């Protein structure tokens, strides 16, 4: 195996060791050597906010660990640095567990293992962390919002966790080279009476294609650690590694030792078993996958493997092992059968010591990454590299549940020549059509103005094997890779295509062989002059790495690391001007990067695994200062060795710079050696040493200029490094800020939408995209904004340096329990609200099933705790029969809390009733204004026609339909306010539907506040008549008691308002003023667009399309005879865009806590104007 690298970079979190259930698959991070117990050093991460993606489910990157609780209640999954827990029966996400972590790309906080306690009350989480407090976290499922405790002992990471079958022992193993076995106190969730065993493990000789295991395979007496090449046995009664095989039960000896029934004095033996040894490869190739064998893939695989052993990336990954009382072994594993065209992804279950699997599960779309098997429950769970989790019946292999990733995998991105959009692929090509760099056909486009995602089929060629020409020399460079290999081949040819040189870059020289990484996308950078490199290369990998590779000292080396992606990098596309590029990934992201010359940083030139020195190159600086293999580096320039990477990212270290390092040499612990080398005899002492070391060249590290995340539900959000963003109506909830507490405390998480008033800045995103070379144009004829009074603060560019200054309130529902059942029709819900900043709480909102309670909350107590002000409140809630979701949000001027939720079950039976809901409509349309220069043409007709359509509904799905129509001179400010009072009195039953329809002028005043212009608006005295958002918001929120509130807004008209200095057609930040409201709405256009009306329609385009949706079945996509909100939104978005030649694009939003209700039975009547004319002004 190859383990060459130029610097100590093994603690970067861009790759990590893979844990499958209780079994270790040899890889990268969990092998990172730990740090010996040095004094804690504050890294400063507790004070920093980290921008992270959270799609409220698995993120789309690799799931590295899974477990099912023994009581069948819970499923836990770890991806990256987060653990999520679901209720298994309902698949409801119960809790997201966050702890102390370093920023993206660094190691600390990476989750390696998750295991439930036998009684299902606790979850044990093994993490990578170099704190002396411990790297094993214990969570209580009764209070998952806090860390129940940290288990000390390991100093660098906890790589694996296992309980004995009877629950008496908890065992962990670590990259610090130790196993710890402790007695488990099931009542308290604590450990006692631990003993430690030195682990005989070398990550460089461990196998990543064969069997690996950590656990108690048969009873509580013997703990086994197996790395794929050797196996080590520990006796819990003797509290040590056993020195001979005699005490082992025959079944363990047979399955792990085979005919070599010997154990050396340190408790280890070479692994030799028909299942776990080399014979298994043959069985898998020849018999385990009949479908593959039928295609003669096995012969091709054997040939490829003989020619290049690294070609087969993973042939067998064993997931879980159980030695049953009936003297048989059950193994759940996964195989990936690879050749140039076909991959087979499946998980096998063996119930016999030889031969093919008894059963196999083959429902995953991509290669499995984690598996857990519960034989006593007859259940198994598995996850794949797309972030999907499958729960399946272990006996029949039928899938029971599937938990999909919240991310939309992006298989390809293309930056087209017009630079007005990005072309993306959301579906992979068939396997027999797959090529590198062309993983999917174009299915969608993401337009940058107005920003939206739409279906778009396109045929765009790609380069499976890119070619680059050096114009200065005329030489050509050809790039290619072999299937499944970790190498890139660069061939240099002259003008006659004659080969003049060949160079190979092995990704494993940077990522380490055990990581199993392989290139998945690659391209040449065009700006060779900027790079000072004849053939600069970009390469993306299966593990989410994105690297810039170029020549250094005559050989290819990594010059820059692009930090951002978490899963397979699927494609790279350079901008037409050659100044920037984008990359895509299965994690649902597209990242924008600037092309520039990389800087050379400095780092230690020893070859490290975490902080453990694995190899010291002859003549290196590390050799000069006396480092040898086995040394553990304690500190680097005064920081823990892991955490030096923070300063590297800040570019504080340069090649040639001198820093002090301190390391520990444990002479009682044998040094790791490569296979075939003799071990040194242990020394008598432990020595602490230090020296000044001269740093060697290391790669540059950069973060993206902009990032876009696409959710599986069709939402998107684009943001910069400071968190300023633009998003689809519900897209902003997918990013947020992770804030560390202390090492023993849970981390806080604030979604970006909680700071919407500060961070939601579409205009700034316009500027960023324009600077990156995208064509984002300003609207022609846009008026110059009037100068606002000095008292109006400018929109802030970013959050303050200390987030605590505007941290949102914390809310917690304290009574009753989260899952509460009652026979009562009314209960009192109690809550605690606390401040996190000096800003007072000025808004508290309860909701039940999406609507406001009939009564107001009451404050029962206010008190202080340190710097915080706490408030206890009580709210009376009327319950409907069945399930009731209670929600609470609190806010101050700059931010709002996360939503606290509670599910309450009322056991009363629903009474069958024939009573239909009522529909209440307030429609306002103003074409003729008191000021004639403001007049429009068809706004009054829009409102009139919409009301006419609604009034036919009382013959269908509604009981009563009551409409209030105000047009032109009847739509004065006072009459509008009176009509709002009418709707407040009428629309107060949660079952009913309330619709607000506005057509006319909507604009912004010099203070950037949105208002609707009534008939009697005075541009010089707006406050006298204008109906502001601050008028609509409390009315809709508190006075309309229906659970279904819909606003239809055709108010983007610009006619006449440009001449008035107090009328601004667009918000300074480009924001949608309605998106903060907790109601369903559709606006007629977005951004700087304007509503279009035309005499051929005798309506505006928005209303004409809405009438078409009502008078025909064109929008009824499911053909059920009803038009739902989402059906209406989808139809209006497409139809108006067609009608206006892409000049107008409606946009809508439905709160997540509101269902998609049917609004109209369709068709309602014949359109008063006949078919829509495809004509625009």
Burial of 777 (0-12, 13-18, 19+ CB in 10 A): exposed
Sign of CA dihedral 184, 190, 194, 199: positive
What pLDDT is recorded for position 124? Answer: 97
Which tokens in the block code for residue 995?
Answer: 């619709």
Per DSSP, the three-state class of 288 is helix
Whats the size of the chain, residue-wise?
1177
> For residues 262 and 295, is the Cβ–Cβ distance under 8 A?
no
* Distance of alpha carbon 486 from alpha carbon 507, whole angstroms: 5
Residue 1170: count of CB within 10 angstroms of its CB = 9
Using only C-alpha atoms, the chain has a radius of gyration, in whole angstroms, of 32
pLDDT tens, residue by residue, 107-141 = 788 899 999 999 999 999 999 887 778 889 999 98
> For residues 702 and 596, is the Cβ–Cβ distance under 8 A?
no
* Distance of alpha carbon 949 from alpha carbon 152, whole angstroms: 70
What pLDDT is recorded for position 529? Answer: 57
* Distance of alpha carbon 602 from alpha carbon 698, whole angstroms: 5
* Distance of alpha carbon 76 from alpha carbon 84, whole angstroms: 6
DSSP letter assigned to residue 670: P
What pLDDT is recorded for position 134? Answer: 84
Query: Which alpha helices (H) appear in 96-149, and where do they start and end?
Result: none
Q: Would you state the torsion angle of the CA atoms of residues 298, 300, 301, 304, taken in this order, to the nearest 10 degrees?
A: 160
Q: Tokens 């709160």 sit at which residue?
A: 1151
Closest CA relative to residue 230, chosen from 193, 257, 249: 257
Which tokens in the block code for residue 927?
Answer: 């074409």
Residue 418: count of CB within 10 angstroms of its CB = 9
Q: Tokens 């022609």 sit at which residue?
A: 780
Residue numbers in the chain where pLDDT is lower than 50:
1-7, 9-43, 46, 204-210, 264-265, 271-319, 326-327, 334, 336-341, 512-514, 669-685, 779-797, 1054-1057, 1167-1177
What pLDDT is recorded for position 434? Answer: 65
- Across 1152-1165, b (16+ Cβ under 10 Å) vs e yields ebbeebbbbbbbbe
* Distance of alpha carbon 1071 from alpha carbon 236, whole angstroms: 64
Per DSSP, the three-state class of 287 is helix
Closest CA relative to residue 65, chosen from 145, 119, 9, 128: 128
Q: Residue 1021 contacts by C-beta under 8 Å, 6 or more apart in sequence? A: none
- Distance of alpha carbon 321 from the chain centroid: 31
Pairing of strands 1080-1083, 1044-1050: parallel
Q: Tokens 């400063």 sit at which residue?
A: 44
pTM over 0.95: no
> For residues 692 and 701, is the Cβ–Cβ distance under 8 A?
no
Q: Tell me the Ramachandran region of residue 578: left when phi exceeds 0, alpha when psi lies from -120 to 50, beta otherwise.
A: left
Instruction: Name all domains of the chain by residue range, CATH numbers in brackets.
Output: 18-35+50-403 (2.130.10.10), 602-698 (2.30.42.10), 808-906 (2.60.40.10), 919-1161 (3.40.50.1460)
Q: Tokens 């090449």 sit at which residue?
A: 229
* Distance of alpha carbon 719 from alpha carbon 707, whole angstroms: 6
């Amino acid at each position: 195996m190859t383990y060459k690298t130029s610097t100590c970079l093994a603690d970067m979190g861009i790759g990590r060791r893979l844990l499958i259930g209780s079994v270790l698959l040899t890889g990268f991070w969990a092998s990172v050597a730990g740090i010996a117990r040095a004094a804690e050093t504050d890294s400063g991460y507790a004070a920093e906010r980290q921008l992270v993606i959270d799609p409220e489910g698995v993120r789309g990157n690799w799931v590295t660990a899974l477990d099912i609780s023994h009581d069948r209640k819970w499923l836990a999954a770890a991806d990256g640095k987060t653990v999520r827990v679901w209720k298994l029966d309902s698949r409801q996400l119960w809790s997201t567990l966050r702890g102390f972590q370093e920023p993206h790309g660094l190691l600390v906080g990476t989750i390696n293992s998750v295991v439930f306690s036998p009684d299902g009350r606790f979850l044990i989480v093994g993490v990578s962390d170099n704190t002396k407090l411990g790297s094993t976290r214990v969570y209580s499922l009764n209070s998952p919002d806090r860390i129940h405790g940290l288990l000390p002992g390991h100093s660098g990471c906890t790589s694996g966790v296992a309980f004995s079958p009877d629950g008496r022992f908890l065992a962990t193993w670590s990259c610090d080279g130790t196993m710890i076995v402790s007695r488990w106190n099931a009542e308290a969730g604590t450990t006692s009476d631990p003993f430690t065993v030195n682990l005989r493990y070398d990550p460089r000789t461990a196998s990543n294609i064969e069997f690996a295991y950590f656990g108690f395979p048969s009873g509580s007496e013997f703990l086994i650690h197996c790395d794929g090449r050797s196996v080590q046995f520990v006796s819990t009664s003797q509290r040590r590694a056993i020195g001979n095989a005699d005490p082992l039960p025959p079944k363990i000896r047979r399955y792990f030792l085979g005919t070599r029934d010997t154990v050396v004095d340190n408790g280890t033996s070479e692994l030799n078993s028909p299942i776990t040894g080399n014979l298994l490869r043959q069985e898998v190739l020849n018999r385990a996958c009949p479908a593959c064998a039928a295609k003669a893939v096995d012969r091709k695989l054997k040939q490829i493997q003989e020619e290049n052993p690294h070609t087969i990336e993973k042939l067998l990954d064993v997931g879980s092992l159980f030695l049953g009382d009936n003297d048989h072994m059950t193994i759940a594993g996964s195989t990936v059968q690879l050749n140039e065209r076909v991959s087979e992804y499946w998980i096998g279950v063996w119930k016999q010591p030889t031969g093919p699997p008894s059963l196999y599960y083959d429902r995953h779309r991509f290669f499995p990454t984690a598996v857990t098997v519960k034989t006593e429950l007859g259940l198994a769970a598995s996850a794949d590299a797309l972030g999907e989790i499958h729960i399946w019946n272990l006996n029949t292999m039928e899938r029971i549940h599937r938990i999909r990733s919240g991310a939309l995998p992006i298989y390809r991105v293309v930056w087209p020549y017009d630079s007005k959009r990005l072309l993306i692929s959301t579906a992979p090509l068939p396997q027999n059509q797959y090529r590198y760099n062309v993983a999917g056909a174009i299915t969608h486009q993401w337009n940058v103005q107005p920003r939206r995602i739409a279906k778009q089929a396109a045929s765009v060629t790609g380069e499976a094997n890119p070619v680059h020409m050096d114009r200065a020399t005329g030489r050509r460079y050809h790039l290619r890779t072999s299937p499944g290999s970790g190498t890139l081949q660069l061939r240099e040819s002259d003008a006659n295509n004659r080969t003049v040189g060949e160079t190979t870059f092995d990704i494993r020289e940077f990522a380490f062989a055990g990581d199993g990484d392989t290139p998945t996308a690659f391209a040449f950078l065009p700006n060779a002059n900027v790079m000072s490199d004849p053939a600069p290369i970009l390469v993306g990998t299966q593990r989410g790495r994105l690297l810039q590779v170029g020549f250094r000292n005559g050989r290819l080396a990594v010059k820059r690391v692009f930090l951002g992606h978490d899963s397979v990098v699927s494609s790279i596309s350079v901008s037409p001007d050659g100044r920037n590029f984008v990359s895509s990934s299965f994690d649902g992201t597209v990242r924008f990067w600037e092309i520039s010359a990389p800087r050379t940083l400095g780092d230690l030139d020893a070859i490290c695994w975490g902080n453990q020195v694995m190899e010291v190159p002859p003549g290196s600086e590390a050799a000069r200062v006396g480092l040898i293999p086995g040394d553990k580096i304690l500190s680097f320039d005064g920081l823990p060795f892991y955490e030096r990477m923070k300063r590297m990212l800040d570019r504080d270290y340069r090649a040639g710079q001198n820093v002090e390092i301190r390391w520990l040499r444990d002479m009682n612990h044998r040094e790791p050696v490569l296979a075939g080398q003799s071990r040194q005899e242990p020394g008598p002492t432990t020595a602490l040493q230090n020296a000044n070391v001269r740093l060697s060249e290391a790669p540059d590290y950069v973060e993206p200029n902009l990032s876009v995340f696409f959710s599986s539900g069709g939402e998107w959000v684009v943001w910069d490094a400071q968190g300023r963003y633009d998003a689809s109506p519900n897209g902003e909830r997918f990013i947020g800020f992770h804030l560390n507490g202390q090492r023993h405390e849970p981390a806080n998480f604030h979604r970006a939408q909680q700071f919407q008033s500060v961070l939601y800045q579409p205009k700034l995103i316009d500027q960023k995209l324009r600077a990156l070379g995208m064509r984002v144009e300003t609207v022609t004829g846009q008026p110059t904004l009037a100068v606002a009074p000095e008292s109006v603060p400018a929109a802030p560019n970013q959050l303050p340096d200390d987030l605590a200054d505007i941290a949102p309130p914390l809310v917690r529902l304290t009574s009753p329990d989260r899952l509460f059942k009652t026979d009562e029709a009314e209960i009192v819900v109690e809550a605690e609200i606390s401040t996190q900043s000096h800003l007072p709480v000025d808004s508290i909102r309860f909701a039940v099933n999406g609507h406001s309670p009939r009564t107001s909350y009451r404050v029962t107590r206010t008190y202080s705790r340190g710097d915080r002000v706490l408030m206890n409140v009580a709210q009376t809630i009327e319950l409907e029969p069945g399930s009731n979701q209670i929600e609470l949000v609190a806010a101050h001027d700059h931010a709002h809390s996360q939503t606290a939720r509670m599910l309450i079950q009322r056991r009363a039976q629903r009474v069958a009733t024939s009573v239909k809901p009522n529909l209440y409509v307030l429609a306002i349309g103003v074409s003729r204004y008191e000021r004639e220069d403001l007049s429009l043409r068809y706004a009054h007709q829009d409102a009139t026609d919409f009301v006419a359509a609604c009034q036919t509904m009382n013959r269908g799905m509604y009981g009563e339909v009551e409409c209030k129509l105000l047009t032109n001179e009847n739509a004065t400010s006072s009459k509008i306010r009176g009509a709002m009072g009418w709707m407040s009195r009428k629309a107060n039953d949660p079952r009913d539907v309330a619709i607000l329809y506005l057509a006319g002028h909507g604009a912004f005043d010099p203070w950037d506040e949105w208002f609707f212009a009534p008939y009697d608006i005075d541009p010089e005295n707006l406050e006298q008549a204008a109906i502001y958002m601050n008028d609509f918001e409390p009315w809709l929120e508190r006075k309309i008691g229906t659970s279904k509130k819909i606003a239809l807004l055709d108010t983007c008209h610009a006619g006449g308002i440009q001449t008035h200095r107090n009328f601004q057609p667009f918000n300074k930040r480009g924001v949608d003023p309605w998106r903060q409201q907790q109601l369903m709405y559709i606006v007629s256009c977005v951004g700087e667009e304007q509503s279009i009306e035309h005499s051929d329609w005798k309506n505006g385009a928005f209303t004409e399309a809405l009438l078409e949706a009502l008078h025909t079945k064109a929008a009824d996509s499911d053909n059920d005879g009803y038009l739902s909100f989402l059906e209406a939104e989808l139809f209006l978005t497409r139809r108006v865009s067609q009608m206006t030649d892409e000049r107008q694009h409606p946009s809508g939003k439905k709160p997540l806590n509101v269902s998609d209700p049917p609004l109209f039975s369709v068709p309602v009547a014949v359109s008063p104007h006949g078919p829509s004319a495809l004509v625009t002004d």
